[in-house]
């Protein structure tokens, strides 16, 4: 079956539009994934970010960045690319079952990170591209990120999550997250004691 995607304006084959609406704008994958995770290195951002960002629906961009942005401002890109493994660290997930030129580890399908600001505990964020959502990738990334945080001596992480984001709120509740005041009625702030 061939159908046109309202979001990316491309024609897709094989997925039904009804499944696509349920699972993300490109529909669910139609193979068995081989999910692996590893700590992000400087350079991963330039290599993988743009293509993964293109695979996020407007809704996922809205849930992640609190606005359905089409492009990230340069200062935000620079912040996200700046991983030192301590103040700012990230874990990347790949599907090793997908063979792509110049991607020896497979297709980049998600990232979880903490970023430390001028004050307060580091802040967690996590993104899985639409066609892999709901398959356990987010949980794998959370497990790997919290294991890394323990290794690096991080004791507390906070996460600001849009109240409407049931997926992320379900996921974070699995990690005994404590709800704190966020100061914004649209945002729930969680604290995880690592």
Ligand X SMILES: CC(C)(COP(=O)(O)OP(=O)(O)OC[C@H]1O[C@@H](n2cnc3c(N)ncnc32)[C@H](O)[C@@H]1OP(=O)(O)O)[C@@H](O)C(=O)NCCC(=O)NCCS
State the minimum distance, in angstroms, from the CB of residue 155 to ligand X: 20
123 with 115: CB under 8 angstroms? yes
Q: Which two tokens stand for residue 42?
A: 């400087």
Residues binding ligand X: number (CB under 6 A): 22
Q: Determine if 166 is a binding residue for ligand X (CB under 6 A).
A: yes
Q: Give, as ranges, the residues between 106 and 145 that touch ligand X (CB under 6 A).
A: 125-128, 133-139
Q: Give, as ranges, the residues between 8 and 67 that touch ligand X (CB under 6 A).
A: 60, 63-64
Q: Of 166 and 180, which CB lies nearer to ligand X in the complex structure? A: 166
Alpha-carbon dihedral 110, 114, 118, 121, rounded to 10 degrees: 140
* Among residues 20, 108, 149, 159, the one that binds ligand X under rule CB under 6 A: 159
* Among residues 165, 177, 188, 190, the one that binds ligand X under rule CB under 6 A: 165
Q: DSSP strand E in 30-185: where? A: 35-39, 88-95, 107-115, 123-128, 156-162, 178-180
Nearest to 25 by CA among 61, 49, 1: 61
Stretch that binds ligand X, among 29-37, 67-75, 147-155, 166-174 (CB under 6 A): 166-174
Q: Could you give the CA distance from residue 180 to residue 161 in angstroms, rounded to a whole number?
A: 11
**What is the x/- site pattern for ligand X, positions 70-89, by CB under 6 A?**
--------------------
Q: Of 15 and 113, which CB lies nearer to ligand X in the complex structure? A: 113
Burial class (CB in 10 A: 0-12, 13-18, 19+), 105: middle
Contacts with ligand X by CB under 6 A lie at: 60, 63-64, 125-128, 133-139, 159, 161, 165-168, 170-171
């Amino acid at each position: 079956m061939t159908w046109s995607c309202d979001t990316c304006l491309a024609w897709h084959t094989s997925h039904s539009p009804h499944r696509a609406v349920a699972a993300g704008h490109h529909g669910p994958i139609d193979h068995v994934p081989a999910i692996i995770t590893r700590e992000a290195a400087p350079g991963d951002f330039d290599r993988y970010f743009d293509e993964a960002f293109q695979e996020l629906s407007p809704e996922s961009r809205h849930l992640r960045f609190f606005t359905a942005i089409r492009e990230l401002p340069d200062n935000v890109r620079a912040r996200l690319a700046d991983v030192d493994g301590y103040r700012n660290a990230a874990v990347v997930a790949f599907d090793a079952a997908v063979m792509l030129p110049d991607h020896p580890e497979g297709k980049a399908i998600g990232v979880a990170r903490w970023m430390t600001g001028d004050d307060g505990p580091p802040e967690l964020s996590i993104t899985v591209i639409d066609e892999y959502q709901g398959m356990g990738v987010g949980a794998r990334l959370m497990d790997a990120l919290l294991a890394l945080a323990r290794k690096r001596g991080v004791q507390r992480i906070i996460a600001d999550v849009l109240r409407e984001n049931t997926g992320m709120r379900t996921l974070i509740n699995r990690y005994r997250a404590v709800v704190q005041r966020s100061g914004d009625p649209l945002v729930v702030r969680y604290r995880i004691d690592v």
